[in-house]
């Protein structure tokens, strides 16, 4: 992907058509954006406060998979020993 960005920038500098690869318009780039948004919907489902939702949105867009893995590990650590993993897809009790 970085090669595409570099190539597009070089073409644009030379006056050629830069295309839209630098915008992530290829299938790989769009799937990353979709994954971030889908994961954020899960965060919104789990988090009750608007502050926590906004904070995680910023972290997800800044840190990407690192923030997503951290959130998932935090949620796993919050599970009680007798709770199944499927409890991650239910709203936590207030």
- Contact assessment for residue 10 and residue 18, using Cβ atoms and an 8 Å cutoff: no
pLDDT at residue number 73:
95
Determine which of 26-35, 59-68, 72-81 has the lowest per-residue pLDDT on average.
26-35
Alpha helices in 1-94 (DSSP H): 2-14, 27-46, 50-63, 65-78
Determine which of 4-13, 30-39, 43-52, 56-65 has the lowest per-residue pLDDT on average.
4-13
Q: What is the pTM of this model?
A: 0.66
What are the boundaries of each domain within the chain? Answer: 2-89
Residue with tokens 């070089």: 10
CB atoms within 10 A of CB 18: 17
**DSSP category for residue 22:** G
Rounded mean pLDDT of 58-81? Answer: 93
């Amino acid at each position: 992907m970085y090669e595409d960005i570099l190539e597009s920038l070089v073409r644009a500098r030379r006056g050629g058509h830069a295309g839209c690869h630098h915008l992530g318009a290829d299938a790989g780039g769009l799937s990353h954006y979709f994954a971030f948004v889908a994961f954020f919907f899960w965060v919104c489902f789990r988090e009750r406060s608007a502050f926590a939702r906004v904070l995680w949105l910023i972290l997800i867009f800044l840190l990407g998979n690192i923030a997503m893995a951290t959130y998932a590990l935090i949620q796993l650590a919050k599970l009680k020993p007798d709770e199944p993993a499927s409890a991650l897809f239910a709203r936590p009790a207030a």
